[in-house]
Amino acid sequence: MRVLLIDDHALFRVGLQGLLERRGIEVLMVSDGRRGVIKALHEQPDVVLLDLRMPDMSGVEVLRELKAKAFKRPVVVLTTSEEDQDIANSLKAGASGYLLKDMDPDELVSVLSDIVKGQTVVAPRLTRLLADLVKQGPSGEESPATPFDSLTAREFEILCHLAEGQSNKVIARHLDISDGTVKLHVKSILRKLGVHSRVEAAVMAVENGIRYLSDAESRR
């Protein structure tokens, strides 16, 4: 896997480069957004890791520029920001993931593999925030009610796993709960969404953009 890291902090760049290269990943590095756009278009890496806060050109601006130039490889925001506006803007601009810089290196490698395969992944602890975005949008203004509004935080989390096609057993392992508890939550989700099967619930979630969970492989 070839990764392009666009980040203006030299210490972070060098540190992450070492961590990834020890895991067999080739790392290209650029210190600013404008050069990052040029490098991405020229090198066509498997995935781009993008800082959000940069002085000359923000991560969101980089995302928009790459999208305008029809860049097809996945771009993942890797940041310290847990602000809902940043998450919403990044995903809207075309980010294939939104990860936090304090994540475990092995988890990052696993997530990057998922993203290269076409998945969209957001840091696990931001799942509740995403649920709020679905309900009211990043502006904070209440949007029209949706069937998802009645879901509890745990039900929303399980729905995200269903959208990834995971079984009750896998979900139970990820969330450290019993299969029976997952089954009860799924039953409640189906009732609240007015559907008759987990497949219908998963399709409904994906169609509404609810697919951004992932503890991915981090609990394995």
The token pair at 102 is 């304090």
Q: Which helix (H) or strand (E) holds 106?
A: helix 105-116
* Residue 134, pLDDT score: 52
Cα torsion for 28, 33, 35, 39, to the nearest 10°?
Answer: 40
Q: Rounded CA gap, 52 and 50, in Å?
A: 6
Q: What is the mean pLDDT of the chain?
A: 82
* Tens-digit pLDDT profile for residues 148-190: 878 887 888 889 888 877 888 888 888 888 888 999 999 999 9
Sequence spans of domains, the chain: 2-122, 126-207
Q: Rounded CA gap, 40 and 28, in Å?
A: 10
Strand partners, 28: 4
Q: In what order do the strands lie in the sheet with 26-30?
A: 26-30, 2-6, 47-50, 75-79, 97-100, 121-122
Q: What is the mean pLDDT of residues 43-61?
A: 92
Q: What is the mean pLDDT of residues 83-88?
A: 80
CATH topology for the 2-122 domain: Rossmann fold (3.40.50)
CATH number of 126-207: 1.10.10.10
* Tens-digit pLDDT profile for residues 192-208: 998 888 888 887 887 77
Q: Rounded CA gap, 100 and 126, in Å?
A: 10
